[in-house]
Amino acid sequence: ERVKLQSVLSVVASRPVDPGMRIEVSSLDATAARYAIRAVVYYRSNPFARGPMATALENLRFSLSNVLDMYPKVTGRLSRRSGDDSDDDRWEVRCNDAGVRVFSADVDASLDEWLMSAGTADEEKLSAWETMPPVDAGFWPPFRIQQMNSFKCGGIALGFSCSHLIGDITSLALFINSWSELHRRRSPPHIPIFHLPPP
């Protein structure tokens, strides 16, 4: 294995979510929940090496915590709606302070070596994904800011994945851009469209 997981942590928004916030999921959206959108962003040098905290992982956590303030939906958990035990497609996102999981991994290659040899199956290892349980999702997180993968040369790859339930590839790209701008101490130019259409 060239990608070896080293640690996992949870990152929560820097301000608490309004208690009791819930977003209903339509039956059509619920069928898409089991499908993932993935993206990998490569950096020749680690943008989190500089910042107010002592380590790159702590700087990532700090800036991510701030950007999550703007998007309470992505820190929530997917759950069955109360009183709807007979209908498998009745879901909601419970917005809470559970946060998102972040994995840290080391890659046994330089960035150039990786880019010359990695295929699709290799790149999938840069953004971990757990398939939604088929029967009872319980409190399954539909959004994950996944992995900070460190290459031997000092470069990194950030792997992202989220359920189609809460957005599309454009939503994810806008989120990444907003996070990047905020990390560089700029005002994020856009609010990503992580939304759930009404049922």
The rounded mean pLDDT for the chain is 81
Which of the residue ranges 82-86, 100-104, 159-163, 180-184 would you say has the lowest mean pLDDT? 82-86
Q: Is the pLDDT of residue 31 over 90?
A: no
Residues 129, 193: Cα–Cα separation, whole Å: 21
Q: What pLDDT band is residue 40 in, cutting at 50, 70 and 90?
A: very high
pLDDT at residue 46 tops 90: yes
Domain ranges across the chain: 3-183
Share of the chain above pLDDT 70, in %: 78
| pTM (predicted TM-score) | 0.81
Highest mean pLDDT among 3-12, 17-26, 163-172: 3-12
> Can you spell out the DSSP letters for 93-121?
EE--S--EEEEEEEESS-HHHHHHH--HH
- Residue 187: count other Cβ atoms within 10 Å of its Cβ: 7
pLDDT in the model for residue 103: 92
Residue whose pair of structure tokens reads 């929560």 in the numeric block: 12
The architecture in CATH of the region 3-183 reads 2-Layer Sandwich (3.30)
Q: Tokens standing for 66? A: 């701030």
pLDDT band at 96 (very low <50, low <70, confident <90, very high): confident
